[in-house]
Structures are given as C-alpha cells and as structure tokens.
Amino acid sequence: MSIASDYANALYDVGKSDFPSKSDLLANLRTVLKRRGHEKFLPQIYTEYQKLALREKRLARHKKVTPEQERTRILLELYRALSRA
C-alpha cells in the first residue's frame, strides 16, 4: 500500500463515521498533509478515495439479490433435485 492509499483509507473510514463537519475534515487533512510534506499526494489520495467509494457502491449492488437471481437459484435447486432422482 502506498502513502496515498493509506490516507484515502483513513479519510474514508473517518468520513463514514459521525464526524461533525466534512469541510473541517478536509481542512484538517490538508493541514496534516502540509505539516508532513505530503501535499503532493493530494491528487492520488483523491483517486484512491474515488476507488474506495466505487468499490463500496459496486459491492452493495452485487450483494443485492434480484428476483431473477432468486428464481434462477430455485430452478437450479429443483433441477439438481430432479436429476438426482
């Protein structure tokens, strides 16, 4: 993992919690980056943050069971039961 992905993970985890203000969170991040000399990583942090958000969105969509998937699962179970008999 890179420094940028570590920052993005931390930012994402804190962003999901009940932090009082998102703008304060970003201001604090910028202050920390400037203090540590990591301000150059800001574009990479943003890219990694977008990847995390997209991953969560896709995971939620993947976990959602649609009626078609449920119907297919039931038909496969019936087919397997009938083919064993």
- Tell me the C-alpha distance between 6 and 82, whole Å: 52
The answer to whether residue 19 scores a pLDDT higher than 80 is: no
- Tell me the C-alpha distance between 19 and 24, whole Å: 9
The answer to whether residue 26 scores a pLDDT higher than 90 is: no
What is the tens place of the pLDDT at every residue in 31-77?
999 999 999 999 999 999 999 999 999 999 989 989 999 999 999 99
- Tell me the C-alpha distance between 84 and 33, whole Å: 63
Domain ranges of the chain: 3-83
Q: Can you give the pLDDT at residue 23?
A: 79
- Tell me the C-alpha distance between 16 and 52, whole Å: 12
